Structure 1
Amino acid sequence: MSINTTNISLPLRLTFFIFSMVLNCMGIVILQLSQENIGYDKLGFLEAFKDLPIALISLFAVNFISKFGTKKSLILALSIVGICSLILPFVQVFWFYKLWFAIIGTSFAIGKICVYGMIRNNIAEEKDLAKTMNNVEASFMIGIFVVNVGFGWLIASGYSEYWKFGFIFISLVSLVTIYLLSKINIIEADKNLKTDILSNLISFKKTSVVLFFGVVFFIVFTEQSFNSWLPTFYKTHLHVNSFFAIQASSMLAVFSYLGRIITANIIQRYSLVKYFRYCLLCIITLLSTIFLIQYFGSGQSEILLYLFPVIGLFLSPLYPVINSKMISKIDSHKINTFTSVIVIFSSLGSSVSSILMSVLFENQLLTFYSLYILGAVLIIFSLSFLYFKQDYQKN
């Protein structure tokens, strides 16, 4: 059984596009609020208000989604995002950002489980899954690019004080996506099949699964080190203005988008394991080069503006490739629970990364920015090596 990609592809891509914008506006919020005398220590914990609700709500969302169906649940999540984005421009207090990100995080937890469930319930073959997930998740990169470019131009214009009104665009896209979702027919999982979360979680306690979650944690850990903090790194360490910092960061999203689109089109020709390792080796090479330039050639620091975005070409395929390889082996009736655990480890990786990054910025240790990220990538390499070895032995 297969998805009617003509009908379902656009709303799923728009869904990830929307969630990408609201999740990855964090870099812009940090950049703007840091200029309003709000300390990096507070801004570093702002990420936790987004990520911890994602982790906490994920398991509880499984039975809710199983009862109401992925389509209705996804429409609800998008409706909440649209309403919250419409309200944000009219609220001025800092505490509301914490509440706003918490609500957005909760909606994302529901939305991601729904999207993954739709895909897994209709596609069984490993490489087809990888192709579909790369295509859908490529929209996530477009969202990062659009939110950076759009808000960047708004901030640089004569209407910079109204930068928060850019969120109204997200509300409009949410409305369009809800309409498209309401018009499609999808294959739902059996609603009468009860989800035993506890027994499903116990069945995930295999060594290979634990290693997989470790890899997911550090991939998101690495991605968030760039997505939320790269604009601020450009501004504080490379001394470029806010507009250029945001635009230069948006190029990371462009390369990330290209990485996922290229992967979606060539993945069926190559071994997923070899492709994954090739991407990791390229990232390690680039980060090592960046660190050497930072440490030994401060006069050539401007080249970092061009090297950092290239990392996205090789970093972006890691998450969908490793997910598709694992998800293809999970029973369809367990997929919502399994996805919820993926979401939990992803959100924890994002939150921990931002908190540790805030420590680097607070203590002005930005010379070690790339070295810090390189350490996380080396951990990914080690854990993935053990994971693929376990997977090979099992097969």
Structure 2
Amino acid sequence: MDTRRKLIILADAAKYDASCASSGTSRRDSSDGLGLGSTEGAGICHSYAPDGRCISLLKVLLTNWCTYDCLYCVNRESSNVERARFTVDEVVDLTLDFYRRNVIEGLFLSSGIVRSPDYTMEQVIEVARRLREVHHFRGYIHLKTIPDASDELVLKAGRYADRLSVNIELPTADALRALAPEKESAAIKRSMARIKLQQDDHADGIAKRARSMPAAAAKPVAPPRFAPAGQSTQMIVGADASDDRTILQTSATLYGAYRLKRVYYSAFSPIPHASDALPPRPAPLMREHRLYQADWLMRFYGFAQDEICTDDGMLSLDVDPKLAWALANPAQFPIDLNRATRERLLRVPGLGVRSVERLLMARRARSVRRADLDRLRVPVAKVLPFVALPDHLPKDGDRLPLRRRAESDSGAGAGERQSDLFA
């Protein structure tokens, strides 16, 4: 099979992995003439998928052969799909060729499991090693860590990669046992813990060297780098009966226990010759979008996962979770924009982190009034029903259109609920 055909097969096979980003790493470039590539993205041509995702990495599998038989995976052992396998040199050459033509800014590499987790991980790492050490590639590299790979291999992967990721796959251990019998939730979390420990050791090494050097001495030599962009994971949404509250609880636990940079959510899509254990229809893409919004609220807005969902454990498909929370908690409003704390302001629908910072800066000089909101680029229509100003108090009926929209979530025109998929 020629390389072009392999690329068609293995790039398509990699499209189901959503945990593909190129942010958060240290800045590197080749302006000194000693290497190739950059992590800053200058001069890179970005393309966009139909769903709006930015594609700037060569995103491929080393192979779609796999010894595992995960029911939700199109590349499972029992799947009747065309198989292909790259050599290490082919992936290296493709990465360098695409980079030189300004098509990509780095590499996202995953793989099906062949022979054993350690063997597969060795092959994945060898691609990154050759790019870094042989070709002095300074662009972005994201490697998918194979659960149950040895500690030594995890350490080696982090030395070459900017980001590592291990997919948690499903929200609960029971769901994983039912749909992916060869995988263990405990093994996946052990891999995450190994990455976190290596990150902690790297940070401790930097701190110790800084403390041990006199102030006037030369800058201490930093310990070897380890995945400076951290680690991420992915959950499939809608392949099992877990509600949104369960999914967000799992995400909150992962963020707290393993300091993940991101949890990615991927709406389940039916695959050919699927098992009867899977729902016959895809999960609504809006549900995936709402989970990302709720995830953002947990990470940057001070919301706890147990206060975001509705009573049935789901997120509203018709309104964003922040507005849904505000409508469900009318006693919290209106909020005085000139007196409220930053934490309270972040709870106002329509106010983002940047908007709140602009408000806090503005009110240091004088009292903020209704006319100031336009100058501060605040979305007035969203904000006014929930705030009080010297020249504005919301009326009882201001939130009525918003409430009607939220209540329509249970009406005939609403999107599919997760429970419908398993009816």
Q: Same fold (TM over 0.5)?
A: no
- Please state which band the TM-score falls in when normalised by the shorter chain: 0.3 to 0.5
Structure-2-length-normalised TM-score: 0.31
- The structure with the greater share of residues assigned to helix is 1
- The structure with the greater share of residues assigned to strand is 2
Comparing both chains, which one has the higher relative contact order based on Cα–Cα distances under 8 Å and sequence gaps of 6 or more? Answer: 1
Q: Which one has a bigger Cα radius of gyration?
A: 2
